[in-house]
Amino acid sequence: MTLTGTNRLLLTVFLGIMAAMAPLSTDMYLPALPVMQADFNISTSLTQMTLTMTMIGMALGQIFAGPISDMRGRKRPLFIGMLVFIVATVGCVVITNIWLFLICRFIAGFAGASGIVIARAIARDVCEGAELTRFFAMLMMVNGLAPILAPVIGGQILAFTTWHGVFILLAVIGVAQAVATLIYRETLPPEKRLKNLAASFHKFPELIKNRYFFGHCLLQCFAFGAFFSYIAGSSFVFQNVFGLSAQAYSLAFGIIGVGLMLSGSIPARFAGRVPDELMLRGSIFVPLIGSICLLSMALLKVPLVIFYPFLFITLVPQSIMGATSFSLALAKQGKNAGSASALIGFFSMILGGVMMPLVGIAGDNTAVPMLILMILGYGGANVVFHTYILPEHQEKEK
């Protein structure tokens, strides 16, 4: 199916907002992490656990939301997920106990996962081939607005009220997404749905045995693990190591978000002309070299004016990686798009959730643990690419 005109625009905006659940749920309150640490009187690692619980919830939620959407269609699971997200986010506003807060963050992540996984499945419902790559790239561009705007908005909220205001706004966004879901037209007709939930879950072993598809799962696991290490550590690095205010930090974070959004246009521009696997290869190699350089700079304690440009170059290829890898992974999945999207979504978040508390293991005044984790993540992504993904493309060229 080829999307044109108004339908493309409306569907791109709708799916972009849904797919942005992860950055909206995490990036908006990043500037508030040091304040929350003081309010709850907890350690840096436990503060970052609020991010971890969200990411683990999103990872596990996709495992269920994807198969359910293959059986029940896209609309109903999406709407229910948004309702639960709203309730859990309101809970974050009123709860004062850190352990109950962590539970609410897990539930919000679990429910919000429906937006992430079903948005990708809908894209697969309506597109294929180069058109699918272009559409994923458009999603990445729309999705790129979230990390630009979210921390800036969060930083400005802190200038006028407490961190609770951030979660009130997140609940309002959830309401808007629920309303948008009611307007959305179903893209998976009954005749194309799986007959029962067990059949959908049975697709997971089949997908994992697919070496090429599983390679993309592992690649995204490592690449996003590295990226989420930056997400977890950025507020402490910028504010505690380099001395930026919450508002200045949100601006620095937002500029990188602009780069992510702009780089997301590259796959759309070159789809069908430059092989996706070539763009994918560059999008994981540049971050590996960049993170190695950044670790050297952190050990030498260079000023922010030198450190920041290298950080920018290291992170912005993430959108290229996401668009090309998702497109290549889902291209041949057809009616299994929900299950396939769920599985790759799980792997893209689970390692990031595990890594986040490790970022603060040496305290909140050093960038070294964050950068070591980034090197390990991008290094793993490169190994997976050359052992699982590249050989199949080389075989096709023979």
- The pLDDT, as a whole number, for residue 125 is 76
Taking alpha carbons only, the member of 117, 221, 112 closest to residue 177 is: 112
Q: Residue 250 corresponds to which tokens in the numbers above?
A: 């949100």
In the chain, DSSP finds a helix count (H) and a strand count (E) of: 19, 0
How far apart are alpha carbons 251 and 240 in whole angstroms?
16
Task: Report how far apart, in Å, the C-alpha atoms of 324 and of each of 137, 284, 329 are.
Answer: 8, 11, 8
Measured CA angle at 224 (ends 127, 65), to 5 deg: 55
Task: Report how far apart, in Å, the C-alpha atoms of 173 and of each of 167, 170, 394 are.
Answer: 10, 5, 45
- In Å, the largest CA–CA distance within the chain is 62
- The pLDDT, as a whole number, for residue 236 is 83
Burial 150-160 (b: 16+ CB within 10 A, else e): bbbbbbebbee
The superfamily in CATH containing domain 9-185+196-393 is MFS general substrate transporter like domains (1.20.1250.20)
For residue 37, the Cα-to-chain-centroid distance in whole angstroms is: 24
Per-residue tens of pLDDT for the chain, all 398 residues = 445 556 667 777 777 777 777 777 877 887 888 888 888 988 877 888 888 898 889 888 888 887 888 888 888 898 999 999 999 999 999 998 999 999 999 999 999 888 888 887 787 777 766 666 667 666 766 666 676 677 778 878 888 888 888 899 999 988 988 888 888 778 777 877 777 777 667 778 888 888 999 999 999 999 999 998 898 888 888 988 899 887 888 888 888 888 887 887 787 777 777 888 899 999 999 999 999 999 999 999 999 999 999 999 999 999 889 888 888 887 776 666 667 877 888 888 888 777 777 787 766 778 899 999 999 999 999 999 999 999 888 777 65
DSSP helix/strand/coil, 94: helix
Q: At what angle do helices 276-300 and 368-384 cross, to 10 degrees?
A: 160
Measured CA angle at 43 (ends 39, 380), to 5 deg: 125
Domains of the chain, residue spans: 9-185+196-393
